[in-house]
Amino acid sequence: METKYFIASFVLVPLFGFLTSLFISAKNEVTLSKISFYTVGIQLLLALGFSVKWLWDGGESFNIKEVSIYDSEEYRFLIDFYFDKITVVYLIVGAFVSFLITRYSAYYLHMEAGYKRFFNTILFFFLAYNFTVLAGNFETLFIGWEMLGISSFLLIAFYRERYLPVRNAVKVFSIYRIGDVGILLAMWAMHHLWHDNITFSRLYDYDLVHEQLQGHSGIGIFISLCLLGAAAAKSAQLPFSSWLPRAMEGPTPSSAIFYGSLSVHFGVFLLLRTHPFWEHQLVVRILIGLLGLSTAIIAFLIARVQSTIKTQIAYASISQIGIMFIEVALGFETLALFHFAGNAFLRTYQLLVSPSVVSYMIRDQFYHFEPEELSYKDTLFRRLQRSFYLLSLKEWNLDRFLSKYLFRSFKVLGKKVDFITPKNFFKVMIPAYLLGLAAYWNQSWIPFWLLGYLPEFFSFIGLMLVFKSFSERKHPWLAWTLVWMSHFWVVLAVSFNEKFAFSHTLLYLSGVVIGGIIGIIALKRLKKLEPDWYNLNTYYGHVYEHPALANIFLIAALCMMGFPITATFVGEDLIYSHIHSTQFFLANFISLGYVLSGISLMRIYARLFLGPHCKTYHSTPLGSS
């Protein structure tokens, strides 16, 4: 019982600190910084004390099933916590680094306009970090995973009056969400592999895992590749490496805690946590090792030619994380944990002193500059050297690769349904959905061979609506409503599978309906207040004149995304439990639609409420480098 309370405190202490900070006045900087400092300090003392006791008692791993959120005959949603050596290292390193950052930030951000907002977000991130580290199953981990994504967006867009921080916040959040597809598909396939919500502690049962994978090796490789994709996106491995330096647009303390030391290592954490599942799959281990090796080499070359210190540190960290991938693939778990701790402390230090280092280097170059002797010998080595130099200057075109072959593809698909306009939206979508409902209520009239394709077809319609919302540039109301409507198509698609009760539909749509209505009301209010600055072509910065409306719209967007503040989050997991193991396309369409809808919603929020203000009587900051 004592152990249970200790584990719960690792989540409750940050939660209490975060909620308390919300009610402190923005003018009271001392109280805000002290709440953050003491919250993280208490957490650090608890983590150190409990870890010493845990090691003294033998250091055995244990699993605690805390809260049952939803329980039925076929499905259970548990908040599950797991504690082992991986948890200990991440817990202590995270608490210690956060302790330093909160102390540093109290002075670094003094008199900053967003002082309160920064400490609110840091405490929210710390809560998400602990939730993820302590997660004992995929459902609990995904709660923390989603919270990390939102806190990442808010920290990068901290300087919300500037163009590049907001633009890069949307870009980084988009890549984070793309990685979530891997987690969602892995959860779905795991459920069908074991017909249960498997916990991480059960993955250490060799006989259980080996018996399942022996007869389902294809599913095992599919799950492992999904996990690798999610880990690569979270840890900025190829081809997702370009997002990390873009994330450095936030304040230096948030860059240090989030992208230098803690959050960027969660890809390694995911591989370490699921290591018992894929360690006997040689193909997967080779792929992880090759991905880490190629990333380490390319990131090293890019880091060597960068002109900004934050970008150098970002790519240097990416290179080290690539080596950690190799260590995990080789089975050196303990070495990877030591490497994580060392890299986290080093990058935190480097980022915090980077302003001073830049100032020193400028003076040093001014007084001691010596031009390099140029050589004009045209040898094969020189040609290769220049080629790699140019490629590294362009960051190997990784950013362009993602924009052209990933996000632009989504926009092209969205353009295919440009016939959906505000004028004919209800004329097209309402009859189409009523036709789908008629097919559901009269399934006996539909040929059996056609009935099996209807779930995929209806989910594809929902996905195309999300594509259209993602590519929409003129009408915020249309982009919002398309995402709202896509959720109804998902419910209709899964309803054709047996055992999907009406109560499950209500559970899933509860947050979607509430958030959708609030969002539409907020958009109508904004259009009435700002009729001349109301589209998605650029950033308008309406948060400065309408902060309350911006906060309401953000909460509505989180509800629509299935963020864990409504029952929709449980409903989403429940929907995946009703997708059959043979319905591969259905699972992919729903996963991609769920991820892209979140990107589209945050894009609407950023375009309308963040960025340089559209009105000329507000000051406009200089452009970022």
Q: According to the model, what pLDDT value does residue 209 have?
A: 77
Q: Which residues lie closer than 8 Å to 314 by C-beta, 6 or more apart? A: 236, 244, 245, 247, 248, 259, 260, 303
Burial of 540 (0-12, 13-18, 19+ CB in 10 A): buried
Measured CA to CA, the distance from residue 31 to residue 330 in angstroms comes to 48
Measured CA to CA, the distance from residue 430 to residue 185 in angstroms comes to 30
The number of residues in the chain equals 625
Burial of 288 (0-12, 13-18, 19+ CB in 10 A): buried
Over the range 308-324, which residues count as b (16 or more CB within 10 Å of their CB) and which as e?
ebbbbbbbbbbbbbbbb
Closest to 609 measured CA to CA, from 109, 14, 41, 153: 153
Instruction: For residue 443, give the 3-state DSSP assignment.
Output: helix
Q: According to the model, what pLDDT value does residue 374 have?
A: 67
Q: Provide the CA 24 distance to its chain's centre, in angstroms.
A: 28
Q: According to the model, what pLDDT value does residue 382 have?
A: 79
Instruction: For residue 566, give the 3-state DSSP assignment.
Output: coil
CB count within 10 Å of CB 17 equals 23
Question: What confidence tens digit (pLDDT) does each residue in 412-464 have?
Answer: 888 888 888 888 888 888 899 999 889 888 888 888 878 888 999 999 999 99
Measured CA to CA, the distance from residue 599 to residue 470 in angstroms comes to 8
Measured CA to CA, the distance from residue 609 to residue 549 in angstroms comes to 9
CB hemisphere CA count around 117 (13 angstroms): 16
The amino acid present at 303, given as its one-letter code, is A
Question: What confidence tens digit (pLDDT) does each residue in 486-496 have?
Answer: 999 999 999 88
CB count within 10 Å of CB 454 equals 18
Q: According to the model, what pLDDT value does residue 421 have?
A: 86
Q: According to the model, what pLDDT value does residue 610 have?
A: 92
Q: How far is CA 32 from CA 36, 40, 368, 466, 579, in A?
A: 6, 13, 44, 40, 46
DSSP one-letter code for 258: I
Instruction: For residue 372, give the 3-state DSSP assignment.
Output: coil
Question: What confidence tens digit (pLDDT) does each residue in 32-49 have?
Answer: 999 999 999 999 999 999
Closest to 226 measured CA to CA, from 268, 196, 181: 181
pTM: 0.92
Measured CA to CA, the distance from residue 42 to residue 45 in angstroms comes to 5
Measured CA to CA, the distance from residue 81 to residue 266 in angstroms comes to 17
Measured CA to CA, the distance from residue 595 to residue 179 in angstroms comes to 9
Assigned token pair, 180? 């979530």
> Is-contact 147 124, C-beta < 8 A?
yes
The amino acid present at 283, given as its one-letter code, is V
Measured CA to CA, the distance from residue 122 to residue 129 in angstroms comes to 10
Closest to 267 measured CA to CA, from 247, 238, 242: 238
> Is-contact 143 286, C-beta < 8 A?
no
- What is the biggest distance separating any 2 CA atoms in the chain, rounded to whole angstroms? 86
CB count within 10 Å of CB 434 equals 10
| Three-class DSSP labels, 155-168 | HHCCCCCCHHHHHH
CA angle 232, 589, 282 (to 5 degrees): 40
Query: Dihedrals φ, ψ of 567, to 5°?
Result: -70, -10
Q: Provide the CA 281 distance to its chain's centre, in angstroms.
A: 27
Beta bridge partners of 83: 62
Cis peptide before 165 (omega within 30 of 0): no
| Three-class DSSP labels, 267-285 | HHHHHHHCHHHHCCCHHHH
Residue 82: which H helix or E strand, with range?
strand 76-83
Measured CA to CA, the distance from residue 384 to residue 392 in angstroms comes to 12
Q: According to the model, what pLDDT value does residue 405 have?
A: 85
Low-confidence ranges of the chain (pLDDT < 50): 625
Q: How far is CA 445 from CA 439, 441, 458, 459, in A?
A: 8, 9, 18, 21
Assigned token pair, 309? 């210190």
Burial of 158 (0-12, 13-18, 19+ CB in 10 A): buried
Measured CA to CA, the distance from residue 37 to residue 624 in angstroms comes to 31
Q: According to the model, what pLDDT value does residue 480 have?
A: 95
